[in-house]
Structure 1
Amino acid sequence: MSFKTIQIRYQTARSLPAPYAYFYVLTAQAIASQSLQIDLAITYPDRDDIDDDELIAEGYTRDDDFKWSGRLPKTWLSAFDTFIGKTQLQEFDEEKLGEDDDYWEVELDVSTGSIKKGRPNNAEDWQYLMQELIQASYELVGRERPFELTYLDFSGKQNDMELRLTASFAERTVQIVTFINKREQRKTVPWSVLQHTMAEVYNHEFEEEEAQLKRPRQEGQWLNIGSDEWYDVSEMPSLQKRLRNL
Structure 2
Amino acid sequence: MKHNYMTNTISIDYFTQNIPAPYSFHIHAELAPADSVSVSFSLTYTDREALEEDEILNEGFTGDDDINWSGSLPGVWNESLEDLIKKTSWSGKADKLSRCKIKVTLAGDEAKYPANTGSWEYWLQELQQACIETAKVEKPLEMDFVKGERKLSLKGSFEKREAFIEERLGGLVVNKKIPWEKLGKVLKQIYIAEYYPEDVQPNYNTKGDTFLNIGGGQWFNLSKTNLHISKKKEWLSKLEASFEDLISGPSA
TM exceeds 0.5? yes
- 2:15 matched to 1:11? yes
For residues 58-113 of structure 1, what are the alpha-carbon distances to aligned partners after superposition, in whole Å with 9 as ceiling and x for unaligned?
22122222211111112211110100111233212x7xx6476533221124xxxx
- 2:101 matched to 1:106? no
Q: CA deviation at 1:115?
A: 2.7
**2:69, 2:37 → 1: CA distance?**
13
Verify the 8 A CA contact 2:144 2:214 in the aligned structure 1.
Answer: yes
Q: CA deviation at 1:215?
A: 2.4
Amino acid at match of 1:104: I
Q: Which runs of 5 or more structure 1 residues have no equivalent in the other structure?
A: 155-159
Amino acid at match of 1:16: I
Could you say what secondary structure the match of 1:215 adopts?
Answer: coil
Count of residues in Structure 1 that have an aligned counterpart in Structure 2: 231
Corresponding residue of 1:157: none
The counterpart of 2:154, out of the listed 165, 185, 190, is 165
Corresponding residue of 1:175: 164
For residues 16-48 of structure 1, what are the alpha-carbon distances to aligned partners after superposition, in whole Å with 9 as ceiling and x for unaligned?
2111111122111111xx221111122112223
Amino acid at match of 1:179: R
Could you say what secondary structure the match of 2:143 adopts?
Answer: strand
**1:100, 1:238 → 2: CA distance?**
28
**1:121, 1:49 → 2: CA distance?**
33
Two-structure CA RMSD over aligned residues (Å)? 2.2
Corresponding residue of 1:22: 25
Q: CA deviation at 1:208?
A: 5.0
Q: CA deviation at 1:191?
A: 0.7
**2:238, 2:118 → 1: CA distance?**
25
Q: Which moved more, 1:143-152 or 1:123-132?
A: 143-152
Q: TM-score, normalised by structure 1?
A: 0.84
Q: Which moved more, 1:49-58 or 1:78-87?
A: 49-58
Corresponding residue of 1:138: 132
**Residues 21-100 of structure 1 aligned to structure 2 (within 5 Å):** 21-31=24-34, 34-92=35-93, 98=96
**2:54, 2:24 → 1: CA distance?**
18
Verify the 8 A CA contact 2:204 2:221 in the aligned structure 1.
Answer: no
Verify the 8 A CA contact 2:14 2:28 in the aligned structure 1.
Answer: yes
Q: 1:46 to 1:100 in 2, by over 3 A?
A: same
**Residues 225-240 of structure 1 aligned to structure 2 (within 5 Å):** 225-234=214-223, 235=233, 236-240=236-240
Identity, % of aligned positions: 29
Corresponding residue of 2:179: 190
Q: 1:8 to 1:57 in 2, by over 3 A?
A: same
Could you say what secondary structure the match of 1:11 adopts?
Answer: strand
Q: More strand by proportion, 1 or 2?
A: 1
Corresponding residue of 1:199: 188
Q: CA deviation at 1:227?
A: 4.0
Q: Which moved more, 1:80-89 or 1:52-61?
A: 52-61
Verify the 8 A CA contact 2:28 2:43 in the aligned structure 1.
Answer: yes
**1:61, 1:211 → 2: CA distance?**
21
Q: CA deviation at 1:53?
A: 3.3
Verify the 8 A CA contact 1:23 1:44 in the aligned structure 2.
Answer: yes
Q: 1:212 to 1:218 in 2, by over 3 A?
A: farther
